Amino acid sequence: MSHRYFLRTAALCAGVAIAACSSDRASSRDSATASTPTASASSTGTALTGAGATFPNPIYSKWFSDYAASTGVHINYQPLGSGAGIRQLQEQTVDFGASDAPMSDTEMAHARGGAVLHVPTVIGAVVVTYNLPAVTSPLRLTGPLVAEIFLGRVTRWNDTRIAALNPGVSLPATNILVVHRSDGSGTSYIFTDFLSAVSPTWNTSPGRGKDVQWPTGLGGKGNDGVSGLVKQTPGSIGYVELAYAVQNHLPAALVQNAAGTFVAPSVESATAAAAGAVAALPATTDYRISIVNAPGAGAYPISSFTWLLLYTHQPNAAKGRALVDFVHWALHDGEKSTASLQYAPLPASLVTRLDSSLARVQIGGA
């Protein structure tokens, strides 16, 4: 199995058309142009709970606020990390989970509520950030060199391998302090997925995962924890979601992609990373796909989808209806606000396919 693709046979939308869904709600959800939440969700006052990734928390917070203002449906979301989101979904202590790492087959098998649908929501970039006050131009780094730094093998900022990529930059003769996530994290999964793709040594150990055995460094909880440590610690290097780097005024390295180009993280370069992968998706998929180190001169190599996780059978009709209506709203209306928070929207062709998957979620008794 390719380390860049996590495609599985879709045992996801096993239900037939749902009798519990009213015809007007079904037709609204099936329409790719529908933009208003249906009355069935907005009139119930149903509250939803979710937990998981911190990577998309800025955009999710906006979505939940906008959706509550427009429909009266309140969504309580706890950004506890992707690992916690998956566990709470498995145990059915939340109505939905959120993760930047697709669930493994083993994790799916331990989900108490049955089959899980992975719904990509936005595309984001993971930034390699650092604290070097005297360096005013963005550093240029390659993936293998980033792996060597996080392996603890490149320990000084003026190392010849860093200097060779950054001619004319006055690099300090100081130690590099690595900062990584201390919690089970989808951002870590994306970052280590990239390092595994570009470094055979990293791929062997510690490998990719939401929580790996870091060879060196300090841990921070959440994207905000890593951002805070990097911001207050001269000589440090870490990785955070793009929105956190922008909000905290952290510098972002230019990272060499598969085409050999040094690319800055941005909405446009994350979109470029997703374009080829989406075009290659087969007709039947559960949307568990990695887009790190994607081809294309403009592709930022540490890019990823982030997913909402929901059960394909929703026994509570009111909550199931409210959840599916929200996800449909997010894929259409919510996507319009992604760029303002440094996320890339989903390709329209993928949204159309997700509409079809949502239409097959079983709500209440089938």
Residues 231 and 322 placed together within one structural domain of the fold: no
pLDDT category at 223 given cuts 50, 70, 90 is confident
Residues 46 and 142 placed together within one structural domain of the fold: no
Residues 235 and 136 placed together within one structural domain of the fold: yes
Residue 347 tokens read as 């390709």
Based on DSSP, count helices (H) and strands (E) in the chain, helices before strands.
Answer: 14, 13
Residue 7 forms part of a structural domain: no
What number of CA atoms fall less than 13 Å from residue 228's CA on the CB side?
A: 8
Q: What's the confidence (pLDDT) of residue 360?
A: 93
| 17 vs 197, higher pLDDT | 197
Rounded Cα–Cα distance for residues 277 and 136 (Å) = 34
Q: What's the confidence (pLDDT) of residue 366?
A: 58
Residue 98 forms beta bridges with which residues? 52, 308
Residues 108 and 141 placed together within one structural domain of the fold: no
Tens digits of residue pLDDT in 163-186: 999 999 999 999 999 999 998 888
Tens digits of residue pLDDT in 71-125: 999 999 999 988 999 999 999 999 999 998 899 999 999 999 999 999 999 999 9
Residue 296 forms part of a structural domain: no
Residues 136 and 185 placed together within one structural domain of the fold: yes
Rounded Cα–Cα distance for residues 322 and 307 (Å) = 18
Residues 137 and 112 placed together within one structural domain of the fold: no
Residues 224 and 346 placed together within one structural domain of the fold: no
Residue 210 forms part of a structural domain: yes
Q: What's the confidence (pLDDT) of residue 248?
A: 85
pLDDT category at 59 given cuts 50, 70, 90 is very high
Rounded Cα–Cα distance for residues 225 and 211 (Å) = 15
Q: What's the confidence (pLDDT) of residue 284?
A: 61
Residue 156 forms part of a structural domain: yes
Q: Spell out a b/e string for 309-331, using b for 16 or more CB atoms within 10 Å of the CB, else e.
A: bbbbbbeebebbbbbbbbbbbbb
**Mean of per-residue pLDDT scores for the chain:** 87
Question: Of 187, 189, 135, which is closest to residue 165 (Cα–Cα)?
Answer: 135
Percent of the chain with pLDDT over 70: 86
Rounded Cα–Cα distance for residues 322 and 45 (Å) = 9
Give the structural domain span for 332: 23-124+281-291+302-363
Number of separate domains in the chain:
2
Residue 5, CA distances (Å) to 9, 84, 150, 265, 271 in order:
13, 23, 24, 21, 17
Residue 2 has pLDDT above 90, yes or no: no
The pTM of the full predicted model, rounded to 2 decimals, is 0.80
Residue 2 forms part of a structural domain: no
Rounded Cα–Cα distance for residues 113 and 91 (Å) = 8
CATH code of the domain in which 331 resides:
3.40.190.10
Residues 99 and 133 placed together within one structural domain of the fold: no
Residue 183 forms part of a structural domain: yes
